[in-house]
Amino acid sequence: MASKMGSDMNSQIIRADSHELVAVAQLFNEYRQYYEQGDDMAAVTAFIEQRLSRQDSIILIAKNNKGEGLGFLQMYWQLSSLDMSEFLIINDLFVTQSARGQGVARKLMATAIEIGINQGCKRLTLETASTNYKAQSLYETLGFRRDNHYYHYQLDI
C-alpha cells in the first residue's frame, strides 16, 4: 500500500506502489509529452509497472484531496566509487499545468530530501535544462548547488 509522506489541506505526497500505477503512468505520459515524446500509455504503463515491481526507483506522487494526480518525482539509487557510498539521482520531476505555482514541486522535492536523509544517502543530484530558470531557482532555494567543475557527456547508441 502506498505510504503518505507529507500532506496539507491542498495536497499530499505519497510514495507510489502498484496501487498508484495508473495515476503515475498518466502523469508520466503527460511529462513525456511535455518533452515532445509520443503519447504512448501502453509503453509508459509498462515502464512504470516495471520500476514499481523491480523497486529500482522511488516514485513520489502528489495528489489533491480528491485523489487526483498533481505531479510526480522519480529518483534512482546510484553508487559513487570515490565516496564508496550510495546517492540518489532525481531523474524526473513534473507538475501538471493546473497545479503549477502551488508549491507541489517544492513538496515533492522536500519529501525526496527527507527520504535521502532517512536512508543515509550521501547526496542527491539532478540535472535540468540551462534555460529552466524556475526549476533552477527552486533547487537553489532547497540548498542544491550548481556544479561548475564537471561536464556532462552523453553518447547516444
| Lowest mean pLDDT, pick from 1-10, 28-37, 94-103 | 1-10
CA 38 remoteness from chain centre: 20
In the predicted structure, residue 11 carries a pLDDT above the cut 70? yes
Q: pLDDT tens for residues 135-155?
A: 999 999 999 999 888 888 888
In the predicted structure, residue 122 carries a pLDDT above the cut 50? yes
3-state secondary structure of 73: strand
- Range with top average pLDDT, 2-11, 52-61, 79-88: 52-61
Of 53, 94, 96, 60, nearest to 75 (Cα)?
60
Average pLDDT value over all residues in the chain: 91
C-alpha cell at 82: 570515490
In the predicted structure, residue 120 carries a pLDDT above the cut 50? yes
Buried b (16+ CB within 10 A) or exposed e, 60-83: bbbbbeeeebbbbbbbeeeeeeee
Task: Give the percent of the chain with pLDDT over 70.
Answer: 94
Q: pLDDT tens for residues 32-44?
A: 999 999 999 999 9
Domains of the chain by start residue, with CATH: 3-141 (3.40.630.30)
- Residue type for position 124: L
Task: Give the percent of the chain with pLDDT over 90.
Answer: 79
pLDDT value at residue 7: 47
Average pLDDT on 7-18 reads: 81
pLDDT value at residue 155: 84
The pTM score is 0.88
Buried b (16+ CB within 10 A) or exposed e, 17-41: eeebbebbbbbbbbbbeeeeeeeee
